[in-house]
Amino acid sequence: METKTIARFYDNKVEAWDANYTGNADDIGQYEILRRRELVLEILFDRLHNHETLLLDIGCGTGRVISELIVRRPTWQAIGLDLSGEMIDFCQRTYYEQPNLKFFQYDISQAPLPLGAADAALALGVWGHLPDPERAIEHLYDSLRPNGLLIFSINKPSLPRALTVGYRAVRELFKAEHRHRATRNKSYRLAHVIESLSGRFTLLETRDYCYLPYLPGIRRFLRFSKFMERRLGKRPTPFSSAMLIVAQKQPAL
């Protein structure tokens, strides 16, 4: 997918994206986003204990993950980066009074980020949009301090995912206005991701968290997804469509 198309798509989606974070998660898409944030905060607080910690959020969207993080860890600093100028404008306007948060427009697939100082880098809901994830991994590696954490989400090929893609394809055939090409996130197998990380990152853990296809009316089954997550979330299975990957930067040889 062309990066410009993705930027344009998200430029027009700022308010709609932010609305995912308000109200109750009674829809599987919204549940995925809220659950992802919850899990990421849990993992960060579990693994990082320093008073001062620097975080990067690549593809930060409307900044809802790092803003929540700073509320709960006020001594931490976070930098939100996003391809979409409108997303960054929104974040700069919304969080201008928050000195621990900074936002800049940035494309992870283009420019290196040779900071070498971040304790953790997040990339949530971004992976499937990247034209060259291997390149992004190099850039993320350069941004982290040795042993720094990389936490990112992927969509996996799975039965729920296949049902979602099938449903969307049929809907698109009949309704032109539903053509959300930019959102067609590419999905990845864990084995493929592990291969891309090898030599730079060590895999620490994975968390599966969405066991339903994204179909209308499916919200009634959210309890089923939560049940499956409690049972299986800590091991990768072919039954879930969304996964968080936690990896650690290997020190340079």
Which residues of the shown chain bind ligand SAM in the complex (CB under 6 A)? 3, 6, 10, 33, 58-61, 64-65, 82-84, 87, 106-109, 124-126, 129-130
CB of 231: closest distance to ligand SAM in angstroms? 25
CB of 82: closest distance to ligand SAM in angstroms? 5
In the chain, what's the furthest Cα-to-Cα distance?
A: 55
CB of 63: closest distance to ligand SAM in angstroms? 8
Closer residue to ligand SAM in complex, CB, 125/233: 125
CB of 51: closest distance to ligand SAM in angstroms? 26
d(CA 245, CA 196): 12
Closer residue to ligand SAM in complex, CB, 111/170: 111
CB of 253: closest distance to ligand SAM in angstroms? 29
Closer residue to ligand SAM in complex, CB, 57/229: 57
d(CA 195, CA 217): 37
User: Could you give the 3-state DSSP secondary structure of residue 217?
Assistant: coil
User: Could you give the 3-state DSSP secondary structure of residue 249?
Assistant: strand
What is the length of the chain?
253
Closer residue to ligand SAM in complex, CB, 2/238: 2
Question: Nearest 10 degrees: CA dihedral of 102, 106, 111, 116?
Answer: 20
Burial label for 11, CB within 10 Å (0-12, 13-18, 19+), is middle
CB of 80: closest distance to ligand SAM in angstroms? 9
Name the H helices within the chain.
Answer: 3-11, 14-19, 28-47, 64-72, 85-94, 133-143, 159-174, 190-197, 222-232
Closer residue to ligand SAM in complex, CB, 61/160: 61
Closer residue to ligand SAM in complex, CB, 27/250: 27
